[in-house]
Amino acid sequence: MSNKTIAPSLPKIIIIGLIGNMMEWYDFAVYGYFAMIIGKLFFPMTDPAVSLIASFGAFAAGFLVRPLGGLVFGRIGDLVGRQKAMTLSVIAMAVPTVLMGCLPTYETIGIAAPILLIVLRIIQGLSVGGEYTSSLIFLAENAPKNRKAFTAVWGVWGGTAGILLGSGVGLLVSSILSDDQLVNWGWRIPFAIGGLVALTGWWIRSNMHVEIPLAQTSSPVKDVFTRYRWDVLRVALLNIGSGVAFYTAFVYAVSYIRNIDKLSESIALELNTLAMLVLLAVLPVSAWMSDRYGRKKILLISTILLVFLSIPLFHLIHSVDEIQILIGEVIFAVVVGMGSGGIVALNVELIPAPVRCTGLAFAYNASMGLFGGTTPLMAAWLINYTGNQIAPAYWVVTTASLSLLTLVFWVKEPVYPEQ
């Protein structure tokens, strides 16, 4: 079968890859920032810690189904086209986000409330499972040869900007409204906004046709688990450390600062917003370095720093001093950003083209679903179980060490760079 190709402009490629990620990750992350309120309203318990853990359990549910979403949307991306998969995934995010903001609470409909919440989180998880990796592949495959990382990183940048937008909206809402207003109805506002921005992303993607799909294998899911299983496992292990570090530093940290450090919700969100601004600045720089000096070298430096700095950084974050907390979060942002810039193109280049969408979607989402997305739940449980308020840092070190071993002993420079 012959392949028909086109040559879209680089800015158009970047816009398509960036915009959907930004909208989609805003929707997905808002839940994490309002986990404490959602826990009270949908999982009422006599112990607030148990209520928060239950709320993070629903957050984790959205991640646990991401591998399945990756297989579904990845198969669409391999057989129909990357852009089609990205457009459909944005729709699958917009609808449950709006519905989540309309849900009646436990007080109104009882046990049906948390059940419906979890169902909507699962649908969101399926959507994200196809969005992120499809956009990275789309960006990398349409990038100039010597700028693959710098082009692909805008997918990560868009996702990070979406999470930052969620943090900023959460900060604005929590600053304007009283605690009672926030609990009664204010928490619903970010979800309503999220539905609108996700639909904007769908409109932009559906009206910008820049890709004609390549002919690929007729059975990408089967090939992922047979012929290319070791490629997929390697990428999954490689992403565990950075995923856990990201969700620790930029999602769980908001609840940590509020519940453990006993600072206000608005201060926690403000500090998180500032740290994520640093992350956004670091991402394109680290991607440029990855193109210039090599993927493995940049990722190696970042992962080593993550192993040795996570515990000291958590000691900084565990404080009532806002400046000290900010320093800890900013250093986390620099280290995580450096790793994300290094790994973004490498993820694409380590999976062969015939199963690239399916293989990377499953590998990345298995890693994020089992480890990254469960990090807030794991961190809250570790503190509650051990009584050690620095315990989440040991989880970061453990997973980063696993990724470091994978990187050192099982990863060479790109295996399939030109496919």
Cα-Cα-Cα-Cα dihedral of 69, 128, 309, 298, to 10°? Answer: 90
| Inter-residue contact 151 to 138 (CB < 8 Å) | no
Which residue has tokens 């999976």? Answer: 351
| Inter-residue contact 21 to 162 (CB < 8 Å) | yes
Give Cα 313 to chain centroid, integer Å: 21
Tell me, what DSSP letter sits at residue 184? I
pTM of structure: 0.82
**Cα–Cα dist 85/79, whole Å:** 10
| Inter-residue contact 116 to 74 (CB < 8 Å) | no
Tell me, what DSSP letter sits at residue 372? I
**Cα–Cα dist 191/112, whole Å:** 20
Show Cβ contacts of residue 207 under 8 Å, excluding neighbours closer than 6 positions: none
Helix (H, G, I), strand (E, B) or coil at 412: coil
The answer to whether domain 10-410 has CATH 1.20.1250.20 is yes
Nearest Cα residue to 347 out of 415, 265, 257, 274: 415
Q: Domain boundaries in the chain?
A: 10-410
Token pair, residue 110, equals 């009882």
> Tens-of-pLDDT digits for all 419 residues of the chain?
444 444 557 887 788 778 777 876 787 667 767 877 888 888 887 667 777 777 777 777 777 888 888 888 888 888 877 777 777 877 787 788 888 889 999 889 888 888 888 888 888 888 877 778 888 888 888 888 889 999 999 999 998 888 888 877 887 888 888 888 988 999 999 888 877 766 776 776 676 655 554 545 678 888 999 999 999 999 999 999 999 999 898 878 888 998 899 998 778 888 988 998 999 999 999 999 999 999 999 999 999 999 999 999 999 999 999 999 999 999 999 999 999 998 999 999 999 888 888 899 899 988 987 898 788 889 989 998 999 999 999 999 999 999 999 999 999 866 555 55
CB half-sphere exposure, 188, CA atoms < 13 A = 14
**Cα–Cα dist 38/50, whole Å:** 13
The Cα-based distances of 322 to 141, 256, 318, 387, 393 in angstroms read: 43, 13, 10, 23, 19
DSSP states of 366-407: HHIIIIITTHHHHHHHHHHHH--TTHHHHHHHHHHHHHHHHH
**Cα–Cα dist 367/348, whole Å:** 15
Nearest Cα residue to 336 out of 374, 297, 375, 307: 307
The Cα-based distances of 209 to 140, 154, 172 in angstroms read: 17, 19, 36
| 183-234 residue pLDDT tens | 899 999 988 887 776 677 677 667 665 555 454 567 888 899 999 999 999 9
Nearest Cα residue to 150 out of 322, 329, 306, 340: 340
| Inter-residue contact 371 to 243 (CB < 8 Å) | yes
| Inter-residue contact 350 to 137 (CB < 8 Å) | no
| 163-179 residue pLDDT tens | 888 877 887 888 888 88
**Cα–Cα dist 341/300, whole Å:** 12
* The total number of residues written for the chain in this structure: 419
Give Cα 315 to chain centroid, integer Å: 25
Nearest Cα residue to 186 out of 274, 95, 285, 265: 265
| Inter-residue contact 72 to 358 (CB < 8 Å) | no
Which residue has tokens 């942002």? Answer: 333
Tell me, what DSSP letter sits at residue 261? S
Helix (H, G, I), strand (E, B) or coil at 351: coil
pLDDT number for residue 1: 42
